[in-house]
Structure 1
Amino acid sequence: MKKLGIIGGMGPLATARLFEMIVELTKSDSDAGHIRTLIDCNPGIPDRTRAILDGGESPVPEIVKTAKGLITQGAEVLLLACNTSHYYFEEIENALREETVGTGDAGKSTGETVHKVKLINLIEETGKTVLEKGMTRVGVLATRGAVEGRVFDKYLTPMGIECVYPDPEGQKVVNALIYDAVKAGREVDPDLAEKFCCVCKNMNAQALILGCTEIPIAMKTAGIWERLSELIFIDSIEVLAKVGIREAEKT
């Protein structure tokens, strides 16, 4: 099987959850049947939303550096465990294209390929899952950076999928769930949980994409999953885990 590499740290809990899901979803009757998975949980990657909306430091150099470290260790399939970072997907992918090294006489390149990896596009794969379920209109719950940066529209609209979003007040609730709860290491308080449930119920969509890797973690608290059991959710991290397994098992 191919080796997986997880570009993590955006945030750390989401990285851990992705690896946990890869292990849980891999069909194996022994330790030896699982996938070799390399993880770099790099919390030093600059904030993606701040970079997209406020002119903050670009996360791309640190993401690429992290990815190349995983490649050096043998990773063949890379999983970018953050939806918002897909705003920079093409830039990251271009930086990771096949490289050549100069190992010949006088430092001339031999043209020998040393890096050949596949970087999974999480949002495209989520779109494929939406279509497989026969849906064309989805609500997107994501960071402000992903929403205002139109990250989901960029990839899903060409697939014939309409994206709908919370209103401005609803987006503030989603932001609070991500940043004030999970990323801050705090429990979701009952008032925030109630507001989030209302946002979800008012989305008027066939299904809701959990388009930030922290949201499913927050939903485990305050009975949120149970209170929204009538809704259909598409968990982007679960999608990424399944695609990672599929790609690793390809011969």
Structure 2
Amino acid sequence: MRESLTLGVLGGMGPAATLDFLAKLQAYTPAERDQDHIRVLVDINPKVPDRNVPGSGAGAVLAEMAGALQGAGADVLAIACNTAHAHAALIQRASGLPLIDMIETGARAARETGAMRAGVLGTKGGIRLYREYLAAQAMSPVVLSPERQEAFMEVLYRIKAGDLGDDVRTAMKAFADELVSQGAEVVVAGCTEVPLVLRQDDLRVDFVDPGDLLARRCVAICLGYEPVPQALGA
């Protein structure tokens, strides 16, 4: 068996979502012993400035994290945060490493459901990214109204604060139902906190969890079952 690639993960945005991603990496790896698992270098850095605040300086911090992961031995990168993908180019330039893109993964999976309109539950920055990637898949995004988007962010920050209770779960399901009522044929978890409180069983349309799919792709790529994405500028 050939040696697997080492995965570098930029995490901590937020910590609970990163731990959920790492648990999925472990669960999806076909292993009979410790040595069969892939090596993962992860920077769980909750000190990254808020990606939802313009000019916060998050890009520079993420670039520094990526460079450190490369220096520690990472061969390929993943970002356990949708909104942070706005800095994907900077992260790749700083590290010189290829990135397994969660936004691309999620948008492609949404298209593979056969849907033409995808509801996106995410931050404003995450929605902008999905709008671009969905357009490349000939799909249209469905999003919450400005007022409901503000309400979504309030619920999102409650999840980041550790609230996974019934009220939060009910609110998230209501947001998803609104998107479906507006014509969404599939709902995409455009923020890694969303799947912590929302599941496929909560919806009457397909539910795409890009973080889950990213974990599967990371395992496949690191074990050589799927080609490594081309590095930026390669």
Matched, 1:210 2:220: no
Counterparts of 1:158 and 1:172, CA distance in 2: 27
- Larger deviation, residues 30-39 vs 168-177: 168-177
Tell me the amino acid that sits aligned with residue 119 of structure 2.
Answer: G
Match of 2:17 among 10, 14, 18: 14
Matched, 1:72 2:71: yes
How far did residue 226 of structure 1 move?
8.0
Unaligned runs of 5+ in 1: 98-116, 220-224
Counterparts of 2:104 and 2:201, CA distance in 1: 29
Instruction: Show the 5 A alignment for 1:212-251.
Output: 212-219=191-198, 225=199, 228-250=202-224
Counterparts of 1:82 and 1:205, CA distance in 2: 23
Contact 1:8 1:41 in 2 (8 A): yes
How far did residue 229 of structure 1 move?
4.3
Report SS of the residue matched to 1:119: coil
Matched, 1:145 2:121: no
Instruction: Show the 5 A alignment for 1:9-48.
Output: 9-48=12-51
Counterparts of 2:15 and 2:118, CA distance in 1: 27
Counterparts of 1:234 and 1:206, CA distance in 2: 11
* Other-structure match for 2:81: 82
How far did residue 173 of structure 1 move?
2.8
Counterparts of 2:218 and 2:164, CA distance in 1: 30
Matched, 1:201 2:177: yes
Instruction: Give the alignment's TM-score, normalised by structure 2.
Output: 0.86
Counterparts of 1:136 and 1:27, CA distance in 2: 34
How far did residue 88 of structure 1 move?
2.0
Q: 1:169/1:193 Cα in 2 relative to 1: closer, same or farther (>3 Å)?
A: farther
Instruction: Deviation per CA, 1:7-63: give whole Å up to 9, x if none.
Output: 011111111111100000111222221111111101111110012xxxx32211111
Counterparts of 2:138 and 2:155, CA distance in 1: 29
User: Among the aligned pairs, what percent are the same residue?
Assistant: 32
* Other-structure match for 2:150: 172
Tell me the amino acid that sits aligned with residue 129 of structure 1.
Answer: A
